[in-house]
């Protein structure tokens, strides 16, 4: 089926572009000795979420032309968020996440749970207006402001890089940014066509297929970081990515074109995201175990149930 093949090509382009950008960003972070936790929440989170951002912009611009693709925007944002916390942490949890310092929980909890509450309130009437979109995007700006003024107490050791390595890192960043817009456009168009052919809603295709595909960069980063004993990089990336997905992605999309929110988002997708968010925060910050096989299995079971119900909706 051509549409499915093009969708897979688009997702591959999103993954490849993000991988190039991430590798370049990691090299620069190591050179300038940025702590893993801060780098994960700030630079990596934005880098790995560029697929969702480009998809939101492309779909919202198409909505301005008269084709309502709100389901693509909100579905990819929530599907990716659920995938990152339930699927990515679930898979990577078999390697093992160590518990994180309790002093770090307040910032992440406030913006993760607070962002969900704001998004739910704005969605109650079935529409996120442009004004509400600007509020969501501005809330993400506040999150970034708190990161810029956050000074980690114990920066993690990093390696120096020479000038040729810096040039290579910048080249990877540029290459990633060049690929992502084209991959996002191909993904949105092919996902819409595929949904129409198989009889699924744009929301379902975006939440599962696009959400899963756009979570691949976070999965790659998490596994590599854990294998290199840099868990702070992985946790910071996932926390920052989910804050971005719940605030900036729908905020930016609604600021371009108001988002029509299906009722299912309120009674199903948002509650599932709230559940996995509370579980992940509890596992990482309150439990002395962190995320091991038992916790990982719980998260994977929730994701499997979510995907099953969403594909039937």
Three-state SS string over 149-214 comes to: CCCCCCCCCCCCCCHHHHHHHHHHHHHHHHHHHHHHHHHHHHHHHHHHHHCCCHHHHHHHHHHHHH
Please, what is the Cα angle at 51 between 60 and 163, to 5 degrees?
135
What percentage of the chain has pLDDT greater than the value 90?
A: 36
pTM of the predicted structure, to 2 decimals: 0.81
How does pLDDT run across 272-295, given as a tens digit for each residue?
999 999 999 999 988 888 899 999
Mean pLDDT across 236-244: 88
Q: Which residue matches tokens 């599932």? A: 272
5 burial level (CB within 10 Å; 0-12, 13-18, 19+): exposed
Given a contact cutoff of 8 angstroms between Cβ atoms, the answer to whether 17 and 180 are in contact is yes
CATH for the 35-151+191-312 domain, from 3.10.20.600, 1.10.150.20, 1.20.1420.30, 3.40.50.10490: 1.20.1420.30
| 292 phi, psi to nearest 5 deg | -115, -165
How does pLDDT run across 161-203, given as a tens digit for each residue?
456 677 887 788 778 777 766 776 777 678 778 877 877 788 8
Q: Measured between alpha carbons, how far is 55 from 243 in angstroms, rounded to an integer?
A: 17
pLDDT surpassing 50 at residue 207: yes
With CA atoms as reference, report the closest residue to 75 among 160, 238, 158, 187: 187
User: Which one is predicted more confidently, 122 or 240?
Assistant: 122
Mean pLDDT across 98-113: 82
pLDDT at 154: 47
Given a contact cutoff of 8 angstroms between Cβ atoms, the answer to whether 21 and 176 are in contact is yes
Q: Which of 18-32, 59-73, 254-268 has the lowest mean pLDDT?
A: 18-32
Residue 113 CA, chain-centre distance (Å), reads 15
């Amino acid at each position: 089926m051509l549409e499915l093949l093009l969708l897979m090509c688009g997702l591959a382009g999103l993954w490849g572009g993000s991988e190039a950008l991430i590798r370049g960003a990691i090299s620069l972070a190591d050179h300038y000795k940025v702590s893993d936790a801060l780098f994960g929440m700030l630079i990596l989170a934005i880098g790995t979420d560029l697929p969702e951002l480009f998809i939101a912009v492309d779909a919202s611009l198409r909505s301005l032309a008269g084709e309502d693709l709100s389901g693509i925007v909100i579905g990819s944002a929530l599907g990716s968020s659920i995938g990152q916390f339930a699927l990515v942490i679930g898979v990577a949890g078999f390697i093992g996440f160590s518990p994180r310092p309790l002093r770090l929980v307040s910032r992440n909890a406030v913006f993760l749970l607070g962002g969900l509450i704001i998004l739910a309130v704005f969605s109650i009437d079935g529409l996120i207006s442009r004004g509400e979109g600007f509020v969501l995007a501005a809330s993400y700006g506040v999150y970034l402001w708190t990161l810029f003024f956050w000074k980690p107490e114990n920066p993690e050791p990093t390696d120096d890089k020479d000038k040729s390595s810096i040039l290579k890192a910048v080249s990877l960043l540029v290459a990633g940014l060049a690929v992502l817009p084209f991959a996002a456009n191909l993904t949105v168009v092919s996902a819409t066509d595929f949904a129409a052919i198989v009889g699924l809603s744009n929301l379902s295709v975006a939440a599962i297929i696009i959400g899963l595909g756009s979570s691949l960069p976070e999965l790659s980063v998490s596994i590599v970081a854990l294998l290199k004993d840099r868990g702070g990089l992985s946790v910071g990336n996932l926390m920052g990515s989910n804050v971005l997905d719940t605030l900036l992605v729908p905020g930016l999309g609604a600021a371009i074109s108001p988002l029509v929110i299906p009722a299912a988002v309120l009674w199903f997708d948002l509650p599932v995201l709230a559940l996995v968010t509370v579980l992940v925060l509890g596992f990482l910050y309150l439990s002395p175990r962190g995320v091991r096989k038992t916790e990982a299995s719980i998260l994977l079971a929730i994701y499997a149930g979510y995907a099953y119900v969403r594909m039937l909706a």
